[in-house]
Amino acid sequence: MNKSLGIASQGISKQTQKILVFIVKSDNHSFRQGDFFVIGNEKMEEEALFIQDYLEENNHIHVENSRFLTIKHNHDTNSLLLYIQPITGKLQDYFDLYQQLVAQGQSILFISKWAENKTKDEYLFITEEGKRFGSWAGDIPFEIKHIPFRANPFEKVIGAKQYEEEQIFYYLFWPNPRLFLIGANRFTQAISQYAADIGFKPILVDEREAICTKSRFPACIQFINEEIAESIKRIQFRSYDFVLFTAEVIRQNSIASYRLERPYYVGLPAKKGKLRQLLGTRSIPKNINPLEFPNELSKNEVAVMIVADMIRAMKHIK
């Protein structure tokens, strides 16, 4: 973060409710459009502390209704357009439910009404399965409720649309992706740690129970200790999942027999020509990513490059 934006935090009072803060637009390199923070948490990043201090200094920390706010720091030309949503009353229960569903791997669309003369918040959470929970009166415009169907996985989707005297703010929450590491070795050991640090949920798949331990792989949230071919058949991959194979697994198993069209990203350590041969196809599917690295790289250097490639795919960077 740009240190010139830092302000000494005064701390949030115990009486203050939590507030959802969305970055709708940003001219400041320290903040990214589409990011969101929960103000009022015990542990907050520097960006969230800066926004909290601004809200406190400008008497927005005890707001009862959602609203748009523009931040300009010390008359700086850079500005932030925020949408703030106080988490009060029943919304706290709905927010807890949203967190549970996202943790289970679902994307969630959040919408909120805003108007100058409104006295009561209206908001709604819509799951990718179409289930709804919240406080909302009236119909939902067609183009709003179909936002999830038009979005690419992990795409930043945020904005507002005007309807007569009110605006509808929308934001699409994505789950932290699961990362299936197929095969335990020193590379997947390093990858699991780096990936976990940026929000992935590593799951190790290897039949060798003596190797697949929490002491060896502390960042992994789950261990699947079955024969690899059988495990891959049993796993119900989601469209937000990432999968990485070790070179040893590729050599010992028939990759062409695995159904890998569902995961968002599949990384295979092989050159493109070899990969086509392994897959038994002339073209490589869009979600399959060949991974090539010089032999002189250390395990940590290889892990960094692989995680960087996953970030590239996740952020839609070509």
Task: Identify the pLDDT of residue 5.
Answer: 29
Task: Identify the pLDDT of residue 115.
Answer: 80
Question: Six-digit token pair at 183?
Answer: 């095969």
CB 191 within 8 A of CB 174: no
Task: Identify the pLDDT of residue 1.
Answer: 32
Q: Which parts of the chain have pLDDT scores under 70? A: 1-17, 59-63, 73-77
As to burial, measured by CB atoms within 10 angstroms (0-12 exposed, 13-18 middle, 19+ buried), residue 59 is exposed
Q: Which CATH superfamily is domain 178-314 in?
A: NAD(P)-binding Rossmann-like Domain (3.40.50.720)
- pLDDT by residue (tens digit) across 80-101? 899 999 888 899 999 999 999 9
Residue limits of CATH 3.40.50.720 in the chain? 178-314
Task: Round to whole Å and give the CA distance between 71 and 21.
Answer: 12
Task: Round to whole Å and give the CA distance between 293 and 297.
Answer: 7
| Strands of the chain, DSSP E | 18-26, 36-39, 67-72, 79-87, 108-114, 123-127, 132-135, 158-163, 166-173, 178-182, 201-205, 222-224, 242-245, 265-268, 288-290
pTM here is 0.84
CB 37 within 8 A of CB 48: yes
CB 205 within 8 A of CB 231: yes
Task: Identify the pLDDT of residue 318.
Answer: 77
Task: Identify the pLDDT of residue 109.
Answer: 97
DSSP annotation of 226 reads S
Task: Identify the pLDDT of residue 44.
Answer: 74
Question: What are the residues facing 205 on neighbouring strands?
Answer: 182, 224
Task: Identify the pLDDT of residue 192.
Answer: 98
